[in-house]
Structure 1
Amino acid sequence: MKRTNNGTILITAPGGGIGKEITRKLLEDDFKVIGLGGKGSQNFVNELKGKGHNIDFINCDYYTKDSMLDAISQAKKLTEKINGFIHLAGGSLISKPIDEISFDEYQSVMSLNLDSAFLLGRETYKWMKKTGGGNIVLFGSTTGFRPSLKKLPYGVAKAGIHAMTGFFAKEGSEYNIITNTIAPGYVLTERHVQDIEKKAEKTGQSYDSLLEKINSKNPLKQTLLPKDIYQLVKLLITTKHIQGQIIKIDSGQILS
C-alpha cells in the first residue's frame, strides 16, 4: 500500500461510532492518521495497521490531564507537524432528570466532553502555532443548541465547545490556525443499530418501523450516517476560508 499522504491528522476516539468511518475515509484519502484513545480504539487501529494502512495509535485517557499531555508528547515523536486535529471523544454518559444528577456525574460528563476538548485543543493549537498552522475540527451537538430531556450535562458541555470554537478561531487566525465545530443530530452508529435491534426484539416491532419513527423527527425524514459526517469533516480539515463556524448536520432535526 502506498505510503504517501496528504498530511497528518490527529484524531481522538478513532474506534468510536463516528470515528471508525472518519478514520477509514481519511486513510482512503491518503492522510496519515494518528489515533488517540482507549483499548477499543487501539484494537481498531491495530487491525487497520495490520492491513498496511498509514496509521499509528497512542493510548490516551480523556479524564486525566497527564495522560492527555503525554499523548501529545508521544505524537510529536511520530511527526514534526500535524495538518489537522479532529476531536471526537465524548458522550452523554447519563440520562437523568436535573434533580437526580450528582455533582460527580456532572463533572464526569464535562471532563469527557469539554475539558478534553480544551486541553487537547490547546496543546494541538500550541503545536500548530509553532509549525505554520493547521485545522482543528471539534464536535458539538444539536443538544448544545436545543435542550433535550435528561441531558443537561451533555448539552452544557457541547454548548461550551460551541463557544470555545470562536475563541480558538479568533486568536488562531493570526497563526493560520482554523477552527470549526460540527454539531450532529442523531447519527445511526453501530451502537444505535444494536439499540434499535434490541428494542425491536423486546417490543415485537420491526427494525424498519422503529427507524422510521426516529427519522420522522427530522423534516427530511432521512437517516444520518457516519459516512455523511465525513463529507463535512473533509471540508473543514482542509479549508482555508471557513473559520469559527458551528455547522449543524442533522437532516433539519433542530427545525422540528
Structure 2
Amino acid sequence: MGEQAGRLHGKVALITGAARGIGRGIAERYAREGARVAVADLDSDSAGETAAAIRATGGEAMAVTMDVTDEAAVSDGVSAVVTAWGGLDVAFANAGIQHIDPLDQLSFANWRKVMAVHLDGAFLLTREALRAMYASGGGTMLYMGSVHSLEASPLKAPYVAAKHALLGLCRSVAKEGAAHGVRSNIICPGFVRTPLVDKQIPEQAKELGISEDEVIRNVMLKNTVDGQFTTVDDVAELALHLAAFPSAALTGQSVVVSHGWHMG
C-alpha cells in the first residue's frame, strides 16, 4: 500500500460524482489509504461497479445513488452513510457537468442546469455533512473547483461562475466550521483528461473553427509550463493530502494543480 498507507485509517468519506473520472480516482485513493468510502453518483450502476472494484482490491466501499440537485436524495444519502458507518469525516463535493456556449446564445435552462449540479449540489452536501460533522466533533469539507475558480475562459460562463462560487462557499465553511472542528479547502485543477474534457474538445473545435489538436495545444494547455494535462493521480494525491492534513492551519484555501497554468 506504499509508504503513506493508512493515512485515512478509520475515516469515513463520501464523494459525489465518484463513479468515474476524478471522483473515482479519489475514491480509490482514499480506500487504499484506509478510509471507508461512500461512492455517491447519479448513475447507480456505475457507482455500484466502482464500489465493487474498491472492495475487490481490499478496500471498504458502499454505493450511494444520489442526484445532488435533489434535496431529499442528498439528505437520505448522507444519513445512510452515517447510519452504516457511524459518522462522516470527509465529504467531497465533486459532482459536475459542463456546457459550451457563448453567453449571448446560452439558454437559461442550461445556465441553471450547470449551476444546479455544481453549486446547489455542493450546498446540499455541505449542509448535510456539516450537521453530521458538528454532531461528532469535526471533519473535512472538500470541493472540486478548477483553475476556472480563479480565472475565466470563453464559452464556459455557467461553469466559470459556479466554480468561482464554490470558492466562496468553501471559504464560508472554513469560517463557520472552525468552531466545530471542520476544515474546508478547494482543489483547483487545470485540464484533466477525463470524459468531461474529451467531450469538450470537439465542441470547442467546432465553436472556434479550429482543429481538435489546436484546441488541446493552443487553448487547453497553452498556458501550462510543459504542455501537459494534469492527471487524475495528481488530483487524487492532493485530495489525500488535504483530507489527511492534521490541523486548521490549512483551511479556506484554493490549491491549484495545473502544470503552472495558474500561479497564485
Aligned-pair CA distance for 1:222: 2.8
Gaps of 5+ in 2: 1-5, 205-210
1:247 and 1:184 map into 2 onto residues whose CA distance is 8
Aligned-pair CA distance for 1:22: 1.1
Aligned counterpart for 2:257 among listed residues 224, 241, 249:
249
Q: How does 1:100-111 map to 2 (within 5 A)?
A: 100-111=105-116
The Cα RMSD (Å) is 2.8
**What corresponds to 1:183 in structure 2?**
188
Q: Does 1:224 align with 2:260?
A: no
Q: How does 1:24-43 map to 2 (within 5 A)?
A: 24-39=28-43, 40-43=46-49
Aligned-pair CA distance for 1:15: 1.5
Aligned-pair CA distance for 1:68: 1.2
- The answer (yes or no) to whether the contact 1:14–1:45 under 8 Å persists in 2 is no
Q: Does 1:238 align with 2:244?
A: yes
- The answer (yes or no) to whether the contact 1:95–1:150 under 8 Å persists in 2 is yes
Aligned-pair CA distance for 1:19: 1.3
- The answer (yes or no) to whether the contact 2:96–2:118 under 8 Å persists in 1 is yes
Name the aligned partner's letter for residue 23 of structure 2.
Answer: G
Aligned-pair CA distance for 1:206: 11
Aligned counterpart for 1:75 among listed residues 81, 85, 99:
81
Gaps of 5+ in 1: 200-204
CA 1:75–1:112: 2 relative to 1, 3 Å: same
Residue correspondences, number: 248
- The answer (yes or no) to whether the contact 2:100–2:200 under 8 Å persists in 1 is no
Q: How does 1:50-65 map to 2 (within 5 A)?
A: 50-65=56-71
| Cα displacement string for residues 2-22 of structure 1 (whole angstroms, at most 9, x for unaligned residues) | x99331111111112101211
Name the aligned partner's letter for residue 242 of structure 1.
Answer: L
CA 1:194–1:147: 2 relative to 1, 3 Å: closer
Name the aligned partner's letter for residue 86 of structure 2.
Answer: E
CA 1:218–1:178: 2 relative to 1, 3 Å: same
1:176 and 1:238 map into 2 onto residues whose CA distance is 14
Q: How does 1:1-256 map to 2 (within 5 A)?
A: 5-39=9-43, 40-92=46-98, 94-189=99-194, 192=197, 214-239=220-245, 240=247, 241-254=249-262
**What corresponds to 1:202 in structure 2?**
none
Identity %: 24
| Cα displacement string for residues 208-229 of structure 1 (whole angstroms, at most 9, x for unaligned residues) | x986665443123333100001
Name the aligned partner's letter for residue 68 of structure 1.
Answer: V
CA 1:60–1:206: 2 relative to 1, 3 Å: closer
- The answer (yes or no) to whether the contact 1:140–1:162 under 8 Å persists in 2 is yes
TM-score using structure 1 length: 0.86
Aligned-pair CA distance for 1:186: 0.4
Aligned-pair CA distance for 1:158: 0.7
TM-score using structure 2 length: 0.84
2:244 and 2:146 map into 1 onto residues whose CA distance is 21
CA 1:133–1:183: 2 relative to 1, 3 Å: same
| Cα displacement string for residues 66-121 of structure 1 (whole angstroms, at most 9, x for unaligned residues) | 111111121221122222111110121x1111111111111111110001101101
Aligned-pair CA distance for 1:43: 2.5
Name the aligned partner's letter for residue 91 of structure 1.
Answer: I
2:221 and 2:114 map into 1 onto residues whose CA distance is 27
- The answer (yes or no) to whether the contact 1:172–1:178 under 8 Å persists in 2 is yes
